[in-house]
Amino acid sequence: MTVYIRVQPGNLGNQMFRYMLAQHLADQIQDADIVGYHMPVWGLCSAVDTPPWCAPLTLPARHRIDIPEALHRLETGQNDGLDIHAYAQRLEYFGDNIERFRKVFDAPVAGSRIDDDEIALNVRAGDILAGIHPDYFPLPISFYRSLLPALGLKPVFVGQLDDSWYGRALREAFPEARFLTHATACEDFQTLRHARHKVLAISTFSWLASWLSAPDSIIHYPLAGLLNPRQRPQIDLAPRHDARYRFYDFPLWRYGGHAEEIAELLCDRTMVFSGYQEIPRVRR
């Protein structure tokens, strides 16, 4: 009997994480069929939205999933399928299958070219500037000021660079940089993915584009907000044993869009306090 695993709809990043979890589960279930996903940007659209099940087990909207319990319930007939609402942003669910997912999440779109003497700095701004979630915020300007001289690469800002207070601050702080006009989500994703040198934004979209990039990539990873495992221990997206990554540790800091917090993001005092000795320790 077919066991249906349904990927709940959502934004592209959430669906990608759910799809990877679904693949991890399907590898352990006989006659599993993954349905429900709709990711045309990757050429992935399920023909089945709601499968013919009677008593599916809902995997709730959180990151840690009790997979042994879910498999046990299927084996014992307590449930006849799995409905994935989970965010599942934990490397244990997909980290060993990077080559599989490089092929799964592929598109003919190339994005903009970033040369090897340049570095792509992904920017997440947009709705997070208003403080919609305390663990999402744009990176402090001082982080880029500290990082870029040490790397000696030409900065290219990629992403949400509209006429916001943050976009204006970046242009004022880095007048020599290139600023790529925000394209489609797929183009921005591929631009970041194919850049050899890159800096993540606090964004799962940014994380996915970087993780799926080539083995010779050099990925600068700010352990900040959502990406800080001390701040969000239920999330595990820091590939500590992947040689592509350079980690920069940030203090625990939450953002609500208030004036004093915006001022701190824009000031010259760096929020970074360690990072493979590439940025000296600074106490706040």
Judged by phi (left if over 0) then psi (alpha if -120 to 50, else beta), residue 113 lies in: beta
Same-domain status, 145 and 75: no
Find the radius of gyration of the CA atoms of the chain: 20
Tell me, what CATH number does 123's domain have?
Answer: 3.40.50.2000
Q: Report if residue 127 sits inside a domain.
A: yes
pTM here? Answer: 0.92
The answer to whether 98 touches 212, Cβ cutoff 8 Å, is yes
Same-domain status, 63 and 146: no
Quote the domain boundaries for residue 80.
3-104
**What is the C-alpha to C-alpha distance for residues 113 and 193, in angstroms, rounded to an integer?**
11
Same-domain status, 54 and 130: no
Task: Specify the number of domains making up the chain.
Answer: 2
Same-domain status, 164 and 221: yes
Amino acid at 48: V
Tokens (6 digits) for 79 = 């449930």
Same-domain status, 35 and 125: no
Q: Report if residue 271 sits inside a domain.
A: no
**H helical segments located in 27-130:** 67-75, 98-104
pLDDT in tens, the chain (284 residues): 899 999 999 999 999 999 999 999 999 999 999 999 999 999 999 999 999 999 999 999 999 999 999 999 999 999 999 999 999 999 999 999 999 999 999 988 889 999 999 999 999 998 999 999 999 999 999 999 999 999 999 999 999 888 899 999 999 999 999 999 877 888 999 999 999 999 999 999 999 999 999 999 999 999 999 999 999 999 999 998 999 999 998 989 999 999 999 999 998 776 655 554 343 333 33
Same-domain status, 60 and 122: no
Of 225, 217, 218, nearest to 249 by C-alpha is 225
